[in-house]
Amino acid sequence: MPEQIQEIAVPPGVGEVMVEEHELQRRVAELGSELSRDYEGRELFMMGVLKGAVFFLADLMRHVHVPCELDFMAVSSYGSLTDSSGVVRILKDLDSSIEGRDVLIVEDIVDSGLTLNYLQRNLRGRNPRSLEVCALLVKPGRRKIDLPIRYVGFEIPNRYVVGYGLDLDQRYRNLPYVAAIDEHLQGRAA
């Protein structure tokens, strides 16, 4: 079949592309290799935070070459459409125990760090053997809590972004790249 190069139209409201599809794929493969090296001889319990991390996690896991298990948590963070408050409610918990397991929290994006801070404290209380974090995107300028994030895909500037799992009011998750939302739309959403 001839190779087709498809131009994907940027939908209205979506602005500048921050991370291109090929950059995402390359970095995700790199992170997978890094994880495979670091967890060699062990088994990895990969925990995705619904819904945003699904796309990243599905791609990442296919580049991990140690035995691994997949599970999800869903949390809701109170706050406005574009800002979390740190008050987190668990909507769906893990299906299995993580006691004695090597757990990796897989997040789409760490913004203030409040959601992740809650998750880390909660999961640490369940006595995993190890607990690390892999975040596709981090916005260092927005951090309210200093958190160790062992694996980072990309550091991005302080813009509200969508695509590759990330949403604005549940839209745009299906974009294969990460793009910033137009300022005027972001203002309206917040």
Q: Name the residues that contact ligand IMP, by CB under 6 A.
A: 52, 77, 84, 107-116, 160-162, 166
> Taking CA 132 as the corner, what is the angle to CA 128 and CA 135, rounded to the nearest 5 degrees?
140
For the chain, what percentages of helix, strand and coil (3-state, to nearest 5) are there?
25, 35, 40
Active site residue 93: no
User: In the complex, what is the shortest distance from the CB of residue 41 to ligand IMP, in angstroms, rounded to a whole number?
Assistant: 31
Q: Which two tokens stand for residue 127?
A: 């006595």
Q: Kind and range of the H or E element at 51?
A: none
In angstroms, the CA 162 to CA 60 distance is 19
52 touches Mg ion (CB under 5 A) = yes
User: 111, 146, 169, 182: which one is catalytic?
Assistant: 111
Residue nearest to Mg ion (CB): 52
Instruction: Determine the Cα–Cα distance for residues 3 and 1; give it in Å rounded to an integer.
Output: 6
> What is the closest distance, in whole angstroms, from the C-beta atom of residue 115 to ligand IMP in the complex?
3
Total residues interacting with Mg ion, rule: CB under 5 A: 2
* Cβ proximity to Mg ion, 43 vs 155, nearer residue: 155
Interacting stretch for Mg ion, rule CB under 5 A, among 47-55, 131-139, 150-158, 163-171? 47-55
What token pair was written down for 128? 């995993």
Segment near Mg ion (CB under 5 A), from 45-53, 94-102, 116-124, 141-149? 45-53
Instruction: For residue 133, give the nearest of 117, 110, 149, 144 by alpha carbon.
Output: 149
Task: Catalog residues that contact Mg ion under the rule CB under 5 A.
Answer: 49, 52
Catalytic residues: 111
